[in-house]
Amino acid sequence: MSKVLIFNGSPRKKGNTATLVAEFTKTLQETDTEFEVFNLHQMEIKPCQFCNWCVNNNALSCVQTDDMNELYPKLLESEKIVLASPIYWFTISAQLKLFIDRLYALHGENGYAFKKKKVGYILVYGDSNSEGSGVNNAIGTLKDIANYMQNEIVGTVHGSAYKIGDAEKNKQLLNDVYELGKKFRS
């Protein structure tokens, strides 16, 4: 059984992204699928310095001392990854971007070591529609990253929820997240 790793890029502990992540994990719990949620805002993740220590040493880790070094082995072992983020300033949150930038360390002798993963995305924005929200920018970026890393995109869910608590009221969004969770069950 493969563990699903879920990375929440929201700075809000009880915001709309957290609500959607909770709905996603409910689906996994129905079949005892193992999962682990990481709230990136609560972790110490420094920006990538692009020093190339990781590549030059084929390390699959980083010379910097922070929480990413605990995540690298888990990321390499897992077959399923979900990234969740609010849309801030027309793209993913800074917390999620820091995390993604640090995946650079997973370049190995035989190319990118973080490949052939199944990935999913949960995105929430405050605008009333996707066109003005920036979610399309975020989706484009995440697709480019998945293509580069040779990952399979299992699904992308996005929807509007501006004020804290709005996600709980958006039945379509909750249902879409629940259905995405079914695709990640063991």
In sequence order, what are the beta bridge partners of 156?
121
pLDDT at 119: 97
pLDDT at 169: 93
pLDDT at 1: 54
pLDDT at 108: 72
CA nearest to 82, candidates 122, 46, 115: 122
Q: Following CA atoms 180, 42, 161, 36 in sequence, which dihedral angle do they give, to the nearest 10 degrees?
A: 10
User: What is the token pair recorded at 174?
Assistant: 């909750």
User: What is the token pair recorded at 134?
Assistant: 């920036």
pLDDT at 110: 72
Predicted TM-score of the model (pTM): 0.95
pLDDT at 114: 81
pLDDT in tens, 60-109: 999 999 999 999 999 999 999 999 999 999 999 999 999 999 999 998 77
pLDDT at 130: 80
pLDDT at 128: 79
**Domains in the chain, CATH or no CATH each:** 4-183 (3.40.50.360)
Burial of 161 (0-12, 13-18, 19+ CB in 10 A): buried
Neighbours of 63 (CB within 10 A): 14
The strand pair at 35-39 and 80-88 is best described as unpaired
The list of the chain residues with pLDDT below 70 reads 1
Alpha-carbon distance 130 to 133, whole Å?
5
